[in-house]
Amino acid sequence: MATQAQAGSQHLAAARELLDQLEPLTQGPAGDPQTKATAAAAHAILVLAEQVAVARVLMASDAAAERANGQTAQQPAPQA
């Protein structure tokens, strides 16, 4: 699991770096509208991916804490 998280982190960092490299092309009135729109969409997707990565880390740490406390990761089924 740790190697998956590290690989994901590396991919997110690489994506962020690529977007930073596009910034000079998208700034100012001379920027191509298509490039600006594509960069904006890519940025939105990157932000969402980063948020999902954080949520996964939080969920994994919660599950590990529950196991350390002797609790099971499964919740009891609600009774009708």
Residue 32 falls in which region: left (phi positive, over 0), alpha (psi -120 to 50) or beta: beta
Q: Which of 75, 19, 10, 26 is nearest to 46 (CA)?
A: 19
* Phi then psi dihedrals of residue 74, to 5 deg: -85, 140
Q: Report the residue count for the chain.
A: 80
- Whether the pLDDT of residue 5 is over 80: the answer is no
pLDDT above 60 for 2: no
CA distance linking residue 36 with residue 40, whole number of Å: 6
pLDDT tens for 39-80 read 999 999 999 999 999 999 999 999 998 888 886 555 666 776
Structure tokens at 73: 């990761």
